[in-house]
Amino acid sequence: MKTYEHIVELLGDKASHYLDHVSEKITKDELQLPEKNVVDKVFLNSDRNTRVLGSLSKLYNHGNLAGTGYLSILPVDQGIEHSAAFSFYKNPDYFDPENIIKLAIEAGCNGVASTFGGLGLYARKYAHKVPFIVKINHNELLTYPNKYDQTLFGTVKEAWNMGATAIGATIYFGSEESNRQLREISEAFAEAHSLGMATILWCYTRNEAFKTDTEDYHSSADLTSQANHLGITIQADIIKQKLPTTNYGFKNIGFGKFNDAMYETLTTEHPIDLCRLQVANCYMGKIGLINSGGGSKGESDLTEAIITAIVNKRAGGSGLILGRKAFQRPFKEGVELLHGVQGVYLEKKVTIA
């Protein structure tokens, strides 16, 4: 685990930028922050049944971050989303899904998110040892030309039968197929809750118009935040979102509802403030926001992962869901990287901005 001194050393001249910033637009006292009893604080008075509360508690109380209110989840569905050969050629061991589960266990993750096939093959051996999060829909890449759609790969009941603690799903907000995806996943989430499983939504934006000649607004703070707000409306218990890298998507693309005052009132250009807007759109932090770790670039992966964790934690987020940076390297190095990220959430000197 990384100590505060190690974190400062790793950040170098960027340390103060990330560690000393204070958010003044949406302040920390307005948020529900991650804490030991976060399930009681948020869901005890909700319509979630007792088995859902049990599943959420199982997630929040497993692994190295147990009892902190934070989550470290290992997601590996890239074999479908990005093609298996492209995803696993750097470490072919992960063609065998058992190694994915072993990585999550060895690294002390709160849970492992993967496919019906991968988790189902080893359910009897591992479902009681680490929380399973079954990803129920995917965008397969063999359709040509590729399209922005998510297709159900199995049923909620199948996930329940294999002992899953939660289901995960993606909606491509902004795509032509988003309304159908929204209906499918809202129904799936309702069924999952009735069976006692928790729900995690990958709230991604997809539309050719979101990428202009000068900027890619798929990860803009305003568009991703609105995607979060739609996701919690269909009762996602946890939101997965990319870390925002820009803003002014509605304004500069020229659609939706916006005005200059909304941007000036709610956020600044600082990455922590941009992420704070995402947290605010998750019912002021009551629904946990976990940011994704992004692709693997090699030597810079640890630094990038640490920065993402710092931004998420200091913004009021609930953790990281990091895959490629961990599994696209030797097993031991993947474990060490995940431990480094978890160290940010365990480090008391890394505080809410």
Does residue 310 contact residue 63 with C-beta atoms inside 8 Å? Answer: no
How many other C-beta atoms lie within 10 A of the C-beta of residue 50?
8
Neighbours of 271 (CB within 10 A): 22
DSSP secondary structure of 23-76:
--SS-GGGS----TTHHHHHHTTSS--HHHHHHHHHHHTSSTTTTTT-EEEEE-
The whole-angstrom distance between residue 69's C-alpha and the CA centroid of its chain comes to: 14
CA distance 267 to 278: 10
* Other beta carbons less than 10 A from residue 119's beta carbon: 25
Residue 36 among the catalytic residues: no
| Choice among 240, 242, 313, 325 that is catalytic | 240
Whether the Cβ atoms of residue 282 and residue 288 lie closer than 8 Å to each other: yes
Bridge partner residues of 80 (DSSP): none
- Which residues are catalytic, by number? 240
